[in-house]
Amino acid sequence: MIGAGTVPPHERRRALRAALASGVLLRFPGAFAPIVAKLIERQGFDGAYVSGAALAADLGLPDIGLVTQSEVVARAQAIVRACTLPVIVDVDTGFGAPLNAARTVALLEEAGLAGCHLEDQESPKRCGHLERKTLVPAAEMVRRVRAAAEAQTDADFLLIARTDARGPEGLDKAIDRAKAYVDAGAAMIFPEALQDEREFEAFRAAIDAPLMANMTEFGKSPLLSRKALAGLGYNLVIYPVTTFRLAMKAVEDGLRDLDEGDDQPGLLPRMMTRAHLYDIVDYASYGRFDSAIRDFSEE
């Protein structure tokens, strides 16, 4: 097989579970496209994260639950195929009732994902760092988590429960919800939109399960360093929209300069070269494969 994605899904999941057990903070930047996952892997990160917000924005949509289950699964599968890293994906509220959450997990396992996270917002959801979020009752989210957990065929698939309760209900209720989600079968907890380092610390003290931190820019949470997060006892950190924001700022600046200055040669130093792009997508191995097929002859 040519190209990347040659590590079987079960091996990626097993490796992720082992890495989580090591106590080292794992770092998962956002990959909004397969080629970004290749760059994340080259840089030596531990995994790649597929953000619902970034995927929605890439489709020109707001992050309010408009992206469909099939769109998320297809993009996530393409990202899995592009790298050998474990990939975690955001599946919002699971795309419907508990049965829908169960089917989502089944589809993600088939697509090679290493894990996913479900949240406890009502559908349609809102970005986790906006106001006026509304939640389903804790019992309803417990049913979502339980259904998703029972749908797993690989015990190493990482089922993450996200709670958005910090804003609408307060820190204590968010912790109570997180405990119930662990009891329902979640292997990791994602407390969204915590407001200061003390709250990150309180979650770690209260929850006997691995924790994921969200270091999204321009949000409600402080941007803590990896050293700080490791010191707080967090197990995994995502940078969900960082690569998308970097890319879009560069594109916008380049288009403005092209329009106002009409100086394409002046843009070249800001571009990835053709040679480097071809190296990232492994152009040469496809060429060698094609040549070998063309030159094949039966003895």
Q: Which own/partner contact pairs does 290-297 have at CB distance under 8 Å and 24+ positions apart?
A: none
| pLDDT classification of 125: cutoffs 50, 70, 90 | confident
Spell out the residues 6+ positions from residue 66 whose beta carbon is closer than 8 angstroms to its own. 56, 124
Residues 6+ apart with CB under 8 A from 150: 102, 185
Residue type, 271: M
Please name the residue that has the structure tokens 């209720």.
Answer: 173
At 221-238, the pLDDT tens digits run 999 999 999 999 999 999
The pair of structure tokens assigned to 170 is 């307060």
pLDDT at 299 (0 to 100): 45
Let me know whether 125 and 255 are in one domain: no
- Residues 179, 42: one domain? yes
Q: What's the CATH code of the domain at 158?
A: 3.20.20.60
Residue 169 sits in the same domain as residue 63: yes
- pLDDT confidence band for 110 (50 / 70 / 90): very high
| 143 shares a domain with 33 | yes
Question: Do 106 and 145 sit in the same domain of this protein?
Answer: yes
Q: For residue 279, what pLDDT is reported?
A: 95
Residues belonging to the active site? 49, 63, 90, 92, 117, 119, 127, 162, 192, 214
Neighbours of 16 (CB within 10 A): 24
Q: pLDDT, tens digit, for every residue of 272-289?
A: 999 999 999 998 887 777
- Top pLDDT among 296 and 56 is at 56
How many structural domains comprise the chain?
Answer: 2
Clarify whether residues 158 and 264 are in a common domain.
Answer: no
What residue numbers bound the domain in which 169 lies?
Answer: 9-241
> Which pLDDT belongs to residue 132?
73
**Residue 191 belongs to a domain:** yes
Last residue of a domain, one of 224, 241, 258: 241
Assigned domain for 13 exists: yes
What token pair was written down for 47? 């995994």
Interior angle at CA 185, CA 226 and CA 108, nearest 5: 75
Any domain includes 3: no
Contacts of 28 (CB under 8 A, 6+ apart): 45, 46, 47, 48, 49, 88, 236, 237, 238, 239
Task: Say yes or no: 26 and 108 in one domain.
Answer: yes
Residue 19 sits in the same domain as residue 52? yes
- The model's pLDDT over 25-48, given as tens digits with 9 standing for 90+, comes to 999 999 999 999 999 999 999 999
